Amino acid sequence: MSTSRIDTFRAQCPGLSLSTDPGVLESHGQDWTRFRRPDPTAVAFPADNTQVSDLVRAAIATGMHLVPSGGRTGLSGGALAASGEIVVSMDRMRRILHEDPADRLLTVQAGVAIAEVQARARELGLYYPVSFAAEGSAQVGGTIATNAGGIRVLRHGMTRERVKGLKVIDGRGRLLDLNRGLVKNASGYDLRHLMIGSEGTLGIVVEATLRLTEAPPPSRVMLLALDSMPVMMTVLAKLRGSLRLSACEFFSVGALELVCRSFDLRYPLETSADGFLLVEFDVPAASEQHIEEQALAIFDEMLERGWILDGVLSTSEAQKRALWRYREAISEAAAPYTPYKNDLSVRVSKLPDFLQDLTTLAEARFAGCSLLWYGHVGDGNLHMNVLKPEGEETAAFERRCKEASEAIYRLVRAYGGSVSAEHGIGLLKRPFLGYSCSEEEIELMRGIKQVMDPHGILNPGKLL
Ligand code: S2G
Ligand code: ZN
């Protein structure tokens, strides 16, 4: 941007911290995706809602584009600034503004980390059930912009279920105060839900009122070696028939071996297998012995039926955490291999057939690549990461993945599934939106975008 334009920009934003430091441009111009180089003009660090409004108005006046940015842990390039945009970082808006234990509501600024919300909820004797590997860095605003999922969706749903109030700055710089923490509100369209999952393209989240829930009872974890991947639904149905599950995750042996290698972890079981199920279930103190007996009886029955080959039941909090690490560390273990991520979902009951068809397709299309399979069985959400082979040039690898993606997304469409279950469309999945949405839906989305962001300054090129 020419210095005159940035001077005009600064003049319209009194008191705004605006950095053009190369290190800040590099770090704040991207998220966890590595397929494009960041190239923002500047990074703004607004201190309050008024400064965010000023930023939007300055962008309108100068024709600059804005890329909202939170914890920068996104996986679809939604927070990538690769075309001279101004990044709007929430790093200076990280206060917990209000807590209301009676309503079980916590009002926070967009820049508060998920881990901090979880910690504050615990201090209040409550629980914030959005949980995923990046929760230490991911910020509230970003998880609302992508409607983040994680490992507790099975019981508590997506981020969308937690948001009872939302303040956003729209594409004209106006502050919208949506739903204001009400449980019931049947007055007009619920613009709060329109904003959730809009990936910074309809408004910039500046504040959220989050609904906490009661603290979970004590729990235990079972790690099970599956006889085959498709049997996972049979095992899930069996477990669900007797235990109160709070999570049900799966991962392939390739994912497990990579995690063990990357973090020097001991293999968790004596027996190897193609796939593993990690389930967590409630063990209220009053019925601990009964539930333990039940869990062990189910375990023995599944062993006899040949559904599982081996398994372990946690007997301590430390062991529970150690077992979870095998699942939660997959993402971090994959990161050094420029993973091309598929974040797909189908109806839960269709997951085994879909997994079977996708495995056949992927093994044919990605010959020579390591594939990691993992995800949230209870949500029908499958993550398939293709790791870039040593020595293959990134652009060539991305092209190969995008070509294969067409076939993958045709399969997803045939199953009535989604090309993005929880990571958002962002930049990387934009060419494939039509595999999950009809032309009519996309036409309406464009109309809404035009109304909410008439100057086209909010995260242009993302999602639509
Ligand atoms: C997961 C986290 C991000 C990734 O582990 O469930 O959603 O790397 C993912 O896929
Ligand atoms: Zn996930």
Ligand 1 mutation target, pool 72, 132, 379, most atoms within 8 A of CB: 132
Residue 134 CA, closest ligand 1 atom number: 2
The pLDDT value given to residue 352: 86
With cut-offs at 50, 70 and 90, classify the pLDDT of residue 1. low
Over residues 230-261, the pLDDT tens digits come to: 899 899 999 999 999 999 999 999 999 999 99
Ligand 1 mutation target, pool 32, 33, 75, 159, most atoms within 8 A of CB: 75
Residue with CA closest to ligand 1 atom 7: 150
Ligand 1 pocket residues where CB is under 6 Å: 75, 132-133, 330-331, 341, 383, 422
The pLDDT value given to residue 148: 97
With cut-offs at 50, 70 and 90, classify the pLDDT of residue 367. confident
Q: Rounded mean pLDDT of 260-288?
A: 95
Over residues 65-90, the pLDDT tens digits come to: 999 999 999 999 999 999 999 999 99
- pLDDT at 29 exceeding the cut of 90: yes
**Burial class of residue 238, CB neighbours in 10 A (0-12, 13-18, 19+):** middle
- pLDDT at 43 exceeding the cut of 90: yes
- Separation of CA 383 and ligand 1 centre (Å): 7
Ligand 1 mutation target, pool 330, 332, 340, 385, most atoms within 8 A of CB: 330
Over residues 203-225, the pLDDT tens digits come to: 999 999 999 999 999 999 999 99
Over residues 405-437, the pLDDT tens digits come to: 999 999 999 999 999 999 999 999 999 999 999
Residue with CA closest to ligand 1 atom 8: 331
Domains detected in the chain: 3-92 (3.30.43.10), 96-214 (3.30.465.10), 219-331 (3.30.70.2190), 338-423 (3.30.70.2740)
Residue with CA closest to ligand 1 atom 4: 331
- Separation of CA 274 and ligand 1 centre (Å): 20
| Average pLDDT in the chain | 95
With cut-offs at 50, 70 and 90, classify the pLDDT of residue 5. confident
The pLDDT value given to residue 344: 97
With cut-offs at 50, 70 and 90, classify the pLDDT of residue 52. very high
Tokens in use for 226? 């599956």
Over residues 159-200, the pLDDT tens digits come to: 999 999 999 999 999 999 999 999 999 999 999 999 999 999
